[in-house]
Amino acid sequence: MMKTVHVVGTSPDNVFAVLADGWSYAGWVVGNSHIRDVDEGWPSVGTRIHHSAGAWPTQIEDTTTVLAVEPGRLLELEAHLWVLGTAKVRISLSPLHNGTGTQVTMEEEVVGGPASLVPGVLQGVLFGPRNKESLARLGDLAVGRDAPSLGAGENEIR
């Protein structure tokens, strides 16, 4: 199992708000290039995101399904990628003791398909940088949602 940890400068609820927005996944999950649909009720157990991965015109269409959810704390997913395989992804959110942010932990394990034959150490080498970048993007989106909005005219270029 691959484990990636990232600290985000906002609350677990703000991070979970991004996770709860299925349409945001193409913006933070490295490799997802397009969200085609999000089941009503996402992220309830059993709901799915219908996504495409890769660059056009060779995109692969598949789904990711919610296995478990604890709002503000945990989201566990089963991600499919065509014939390459299936992965279980667990994203845990823990508030920092000093109240200044959230520790986001992503644990990913390839559980089916040809990719599951790749040794765990090599999976970490191949997917670790991808997961690190994904969590950085997730954090940026969460912090951005937490930022106060600019008043009228404050964002003008002069």
157 within domain boundaries: no
Say if residues 56 and 81 touch (Cβ distance below 8 Å). Answer: no
Number of domains present in the structure of the chain: 1
> What confidence score (pLDDT) does residue 14 get?
95
DSSP characters over 31-62: TEEEEEEE-TTTTSTT-EEEEEESSTTS-EEE
Establish if 158 belongs to a structural domain.
no
Instruction: Let me know if residue 156 belongs to a domain.
Output: no
pLDDT of residue 157: 47
* CATH, residue 133: 3.30.530.20
Residue 131 lies in a domain: yes
Residue-level pLDDT at 2: 87
Does the residue 154 lie in any domain?
no
Tell whether 51 is covered by a domain: yes
pLDDT in tens, the chain (158 residues): 789 999 999 999 999 999 999 999 999 999 888 999 999 999 999 999 999 887 777 888 899 999 999 999 999 999 987 667 888 999 999 999 888 899 999 999 888 776 666 767 776 677 789 899 999 999 999 999 877 654 544 544 44
Range of the domain at 50: 2-145
In a domain, 63, yes or no: yes
Q: φ and ψ at 122, to 5 degrees? A: -70, -35
pLDDT of residue 48: 97
- Asked if residue 41 is part of any domain, the answer here is yes
**Are 79 and 89 within 8 A, CB to CB?**
yes
Q: Are 40 and 18 in contact (CB under 8 A)?
A: no
